[in-house]
């Protein structure tokens, strides 16, 4: 697979992509190192790009883009998709803000009503905050407590190897002191981001990891906030459905699930299907604009370049957003 990915990256580079997709191709698929002068020059141009500068100028003095839940989360994903590292001023500011939220020194200034008034401030806000920080700064030690908390919830919810909703409700009460008919499940998008293994560390045991992946693929009817259908079902690239049921949403869902070790038993089958969705030139082209556009415009060759990079990231097991 690595040889195929490398070959596609070469073909995309030969299409003379705009600066952001060019940087991503060189960095993620061609192995260009940060110490290389070419890398540094490309990265400087990415940082000066109008996409990045617009986010830099619109970031508020507290370090985020209001509202946090929704817009700031999407902004973090966009900035990371551009290839920015955690030392970039935008990501550094938002990281500091998130740490303050986790330390009780800042807040989102948002609230949603649930069946228990503590659901939002005591459980949801810390989880989302920690998961967004994990995207930018995987090894930050402040995340340890949250990972242990949700690793325990995941393990207990899959004690028998199958998801037990009643046990999920019980363990949520045990950990947070919250009685709720709407427990946050261990296959929730934010929990998956938080518990996704690092380079040299897994946060859940092997059995829980496999049970989690098996459930996401075989039983889940959706992956909330990402994909509103069954990840199990193959999706053709030509599909244009509403409500997050098209090909790129599906690939994004698989990208998140594939971060876990248990994905290995599914990898070949799903990779083969995704590879079968190329056009006559052996590349991917989404039928409509999507959330992770990298090029300066969604015209001509840019559609193929951006679509193909998004798919290559999944096949390459790059960090998922």
Its pTM surpasses 0.85:
yes
Kindly state the percentage of the chain with pLDDT values over 70. 99
pLDDT at res. 239: 87
Q: What confidence tier does 160 reach under pLDDT thresholds 50, 70, 90?
A: confident
pLDDT at res. 198: 85
* Average pLDDT score, the chain: 95
Q: Please, what's the b/e burial string for 95-108 (b: 16 or more CB within 10 A of its CB; e: otherwise)?
A: bebbbebbeeebeb
Kindly report, residue by residue over 185-207, the tens digit of the pLDDT.
999 999 999 999 987 789 999 99
Kindly report, residue by residue over 105-150, the tens digit of the pLDDT.
999 999 999 999 999 999 999 999 999 999 999 999 999 999 999 9
Cβ contacts of residue 106 below 8 Å, gap of 6+? 62, 97, 100
Rounded Cα–Cα distance for residues 32 and 289 (Å):
28
pLDDT at res. 1: 58
């Amino acid at each position: 697979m690595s040889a195929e990915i490398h070959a596609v990256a070469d073909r995309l580079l030969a299409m003379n992509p705009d600066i952001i997709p060019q940087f991503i191709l060189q960095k993620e698929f061609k192995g260009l190192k940060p110490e290389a002068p070419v890398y540094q020059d490309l990265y400087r141009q990415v940082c000066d790009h109008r996409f990045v500068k617009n986010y830099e100028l619109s970031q508020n003095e507290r370090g985020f883009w209001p509202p946090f839940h929704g817009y700031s989360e999407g902004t973090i994903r966009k900035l990371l998709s551009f290839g920015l590292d955690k030392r970039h001023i935008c990501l550094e500011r938002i990281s500091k803000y998130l740490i303050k939220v986790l330390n009780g020194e800042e807040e989102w200034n948002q609230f949603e009503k649930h069946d228990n008034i503590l659901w939002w401030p005591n459980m949801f806000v810390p989880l989302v905050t920690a998961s967004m920080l994990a995207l930018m700064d995987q090894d930050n030690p402040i995340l340890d407590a949250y990972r242990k908390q949700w690793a325990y919830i995941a393990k207990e919810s899959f004690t028998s190897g199958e998801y037990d909703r009643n046990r999920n409700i019980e363990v949520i009460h045990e950990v947070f002191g919250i009685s709720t008919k709407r427990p946050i499940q261990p296959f929730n998008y934010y929990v998956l981001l938080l518990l996704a293994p690092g380079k040299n560390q897994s946060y859940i045991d092997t059995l829980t990891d496999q049970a989690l992946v098996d459930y996401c693929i075989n039983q889940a009817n959706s992956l909330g906030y990402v994909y509103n259908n069954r990840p199990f079902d193959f999706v053709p690239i030509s599909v244009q459905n509403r409500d997050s049921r098209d090909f790129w949403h599906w690939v994004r869902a698989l990208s998140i699930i594939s971060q876990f070790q248990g994905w290995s038993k599914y990898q070949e089958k799903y990779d083969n299907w995704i590879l079968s969705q190329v056009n006559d030139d052996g590349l991917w082209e989404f039928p409509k604009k999507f959330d992770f556009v990298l090029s300066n415009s969604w015209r001509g060759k840019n559609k193929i370049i951006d679509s193909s990079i998004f798919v290559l990231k999944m096949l390459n097991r790059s960090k998922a957003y």
